[in-house]
Structure formats: C-alpha cells, structure tokens
Amino acid sequence: MLNFSKCVQEMRTSEIRDLMSVATNPNIISFAGGMPNNDLFPVEEIDEIYNTLDDKVKKIGFQYAPTPGYPPLIESVKEYLRAKELPVDTNDLIITSGSLQAINIIAKLFVNPGDTVITESPCFIGGTSAFKSYQSKIVGIPLDADGIIMNDLKTAMDNDAKNAKLIYLSPYFHNPAGIVYSKERKNELLNYLQGKEIVLLEDDPYNELYFDESYKELTIPMKTIQPEPVPICYTGSFSKILGPGMRLGWLLASPEIINKAQLAKQSMDACSSTFTQVLADQFLRQGKLQPYLERLRAAYSKRMKIMNDCLKENMPTETKWVVPKGGFYIWINLPEHIDALEVLKISMDKGAIFVIGKTFDPNGVKNNCLRLSFSHTPEGLIEKGVKIIAEAVKAKL
C-alpha cells in the first residue's frame, strides 16, 4: 500500500551484499569482498594517535564538524594532494563520507531523471547504483588493458550518449577490471573531451596501491593537467590507505562545484564523522602514512603474485586476464559462451566464491567474467580457492 517514489524503482539489491553473507561462513574461501585485509590495518598507529591526543582536540572529535570537513584535515589532505601536483590551490576540497558519497553528490549536482551518464563497463557498482538512484540512463563503454576504448566512446557520444552530462572513470587499478590507464590513453581521452559540455568524474581510491615503484608514474591523475580540458571532479578515499570504517573520502573540484557540493552534503549527513576526521588528520600530519603504505604495497603485491601464479598454473588457456600493477583485483575473462553464474554455483559448492561479471555491467547483461579480490582472503587460502575456481571453469568449458 506504500506509495514509494520513482527512484525506488531503480534500486536493486547488490549481488555483492548477498555474497558477503555467504562469505561469513568460515568454511568458504571468499574472493568476493573488495575490502582491505583486517590484519593490515594500522591499529598500532591509531592507538598511539588516540592516546596522545590533546583533550581539547579529542572533544572536538565528539562535536559536529563544519560541513566541508574538519579544517585541519582539509589542510592535511590538501598538503598530501599538493605533493601529487594536484591543483589544490585553484580548486576547493570537501571531506566526504567515503568517496562513494562524493560520487553520489556529483550525481545529485549534475543528473536530472533521464539524463545520460557514461561509465566504464565493467564499472564499480557503487558508481552505477549512485547514478541509477538519480534515475540516470547509463551508457557503459568497454575497457581494454590501457583504459576506455576510444572508438566505442566516440561512437556512443555520437549516438546514445550524445547529451551525456557526466563521464565517470576509475583509471587507476580499476575495480573490478584491475587495469591502469596508459598515459597515451589518458591524453587521447582528454583531447577528445576538450570543448565538449561534459563533466569528468575521476575516481581514484586505489592510487597508492601500486606494486612497483616504476608503476607510480601511471597513477598521475588527469586532474593534474592545467588548464583543465574539461571540468574534472577528482575523488579519493581513506578507505584503502587507513580503513573504510573511518568513512572518509574527499572531492577536489572547482570552487563553484564544491560550493554546491557543500549544500548537497549539508542535507545528506551534515558532516562526516569528526571523530575519525581527527584521527585521519593526525595520521597524515604525523607522517604515519608513507611507512604504512610501504607495508601495504608489499603485502598486496605479494598476495597478487600468489594468486597470479596459481591462476597461470591452473586456469585453462581459454581464460584471459591482465596482471594487475596495483589495487585489489584480478578480472578473469572466460570464453563468451560460459556463464559466470554457472561457474559460481559449482565453485560455491566446493567452497570458494567470487563476484560474477554481470554485477559490474551497468546493463546487467555481460556475464562471462569474474572478479577475484586478492586483498581480503587469508594468504594461505588463496591457492586452494583459485584451484577450486579453475576446476569449476574447466567443468563449464
């Protein structure tokens, strides 16, 4: 009898959530969750910070923060981004409740019901669900190993996506595709977008998680290019460099956009947790981030290698994947005729789970892919789990 609004009809349950409940079964080896490993969190560092906090500052942590963020944290995030040559002095910054909130805010600012948003395909499901919650039409453009496929983008922008308001990209250690954009592809993309009436949302939560110093230059954001070829909204997050439980991210964009973003955030949650903002500020300010990142990169790189070696050994030759240079994911392409859901069913019976490709397809169709996260699974179980999945794939060949 309830008369729900139109946007409710666009909401759908995420398969990841369903899998997460399976994943709490200790007998299941899960490659499903795209989350950091609990044992890698900087618990000692945060303990030290908490226990040496000035009492006055601690009390500030219990209080409302200004909507744009706890001022010292805004400064320390700016300092951190300045070192990456991001244009923090000509742009403004707002602290958000994870970068997902930043994506949601940008959708709110630019998407009217029925408007088109261009995304990658596959695409981070937080992005697609945020855009759909504003009743946008999504046009997904396929990726190759170097980034978005330019010919497909051009065709879409000449046709279906002609009046797109927003293009949403996640160029660095993509979730779920595991790729990083090449420098050439970024240039080609920006040249093409220049002069078009579109806003680019550059989502960059995995920026720091490169597996070799030589890959670092691949993580230079498009937002660093000045003057901007198109308006770029750049988002980042503490979720992968401190912990998602802090619920902190940021949005860097022009003062005009950030002013509107503040108003939107004011009606969403008033401010992000001041308590965790105070801790995150000290984490940056006390120089605890860089040594922590070195630990993280080594740990995730090691896990990726274990998974990749095991995949090479066990996966049938008909399957393809790009070896990740950073991030949390290996994205496996199966032959077209194989339905990842069928593979999942067999694999789940044998005790290993992952997320099927369809989940990340903005149109919910393409399903011959699977996402394996190597970030969260206990290291010693990766081999056993991959073998189960490889057997399941073979059974469907």
Which listed residue (23, 100, 344, 390) binds a second copy by CB under 8 A?
Answer: 100
Nearest to 132 by CA among 148, 116, 144, 143: 116
| Position 11 contacts a second copy (CB under 8 A) | yes
| Position 111 contacts a second copy (CB under 8 A) | yes
| Position 7 contacts a second copy (CB under 8 A) | yes
Are the C-beta atoms of residues 178 and 321 closer than 8 Å to each other? yes
Are the C-beta atoms of residues 370 and 357 closer than 8 Å to each other? yes
> Please, what's the largest Cα pairwise distance for the chain?
64
| Position 64 contacts a second copy (CB under 8 A) | yes
Instruction: Tell which positions 224-253 bind a second copy, by CB under 8 A.
Output: 231, 239, 242-247
| Position 269 contacts a second copy (CB under 8 A) | yes
C-alpha dihedral (381, 386, 388, 392), degrees to nearest 10:
160
| Position 18 contacts a second copy (CB under 8 A) | no
Are the C-beta atoms of residues 70 and 278 closer than 8 Å to each other? yes
Question: What's phi and psi for 180, nearest 5 deg?
Answer: -125, 140
Which listed residue (85, 256, 318, 349) binds a second copy by CB under 8 A?
Answer: 256
| Position 30 contacts a second copy (CB under 8 A) | no
Are the C-beta atoms of residues 297 and 210 closer than 8 Å to each other? yes
Which listed residue (193, 257, 356, 370) binds a second copy by CB under 8 A?
Answer: 257
Lay out the site mask for a second copy across 115-144 (x = CB under 8 A, - = otherwise). Answer: x----------x--xx-xxx----------
Instruction: Tell which positions 145-164 bind a second copy, by CB under 8 A.
Output: none
Size of the site for a second copy (CB under 8 A): 82
Which listed residue (110, 168, 283, 321) binds a second copy by CB under 8 A?
Answer: 110
Collapsed DSSP state (helix, strand, coil) of residue 355: strand
Residue 172: left (phi > 0), alpha (psi -120 to 50), or beta? beta
- Whether omega before 176 lies within 30 degrees of 0, making that bond cis, reads yes
| Position 186 contacts a second copy (CB under 8 A) | no
| Position 207 contacts a second copy (CB under 8 A) | no
Q: Which runs of consecutive H residues, i.e. helices, occur in 215-372?
A: 255-266, 274-285, 289-314, 340-350
| Position 57 contacts a second copy (CB under 8 A) | no
Q: Which of the 8 DSSP states describes residue 68? A: T
CB of 33 to a second copy, least distance (A): 8
The one segment of 40-48, 175-183, 211-219, 367-375 that binds a second copy by CB under 8 A: 40-48
Helix 289-314 to helix 382-396 angle, to the nearest 10 degrees?
40
The one segment of 99-107, 177-185, 304-312, 329-337 that binds a second copy by CB under 8 A: 99-107
Distance between CA atoms of 240 and 283, rounded to whole angstroms? 14
| Position 2 contacts a second copy (CB under 8 A) | yes
CB of 381 to a second copy, least distance (A): 18
| Position 52 contacts a second copy (CB under 8 A) | no
Which listed residue (27, 112, 159, 226) binds a second copy by CB under 8 A?
Answer: 112
Which listed residue (80, 192, 215, 275) binds a second copy by CB under 8 A?
Answer: 275
The one segment of 58-66, 76-84, 303-311, 352-360 that binds a second copy by CB under 8 A: 58-66
Which listed residue (30, 97, 219, 359) binds a second copy by CB under 8 A?
Answer: 97
Distance between CA atoms of 175 and 328, rounded to whole angstroms? 8
Residue 314: left (phi > 0), alpha (psi -120 to 50), or beta? alpha
Collapsed DSSP state (helix, strand, coil) of residue 240: coil
| Position 72 contacts a second copy (CB under 8 A) | no
Q: Which of the 8 DSSP states describes residue 228? A: -
The one segment of 47-55, 145-153, 286-294, 311-319 that binds a second copy by CB under 8 A: 47-55
The one segment of 109-117, 286-294, 343-351, 385-393 that binds a second copy by CB under 8 A: 109-117
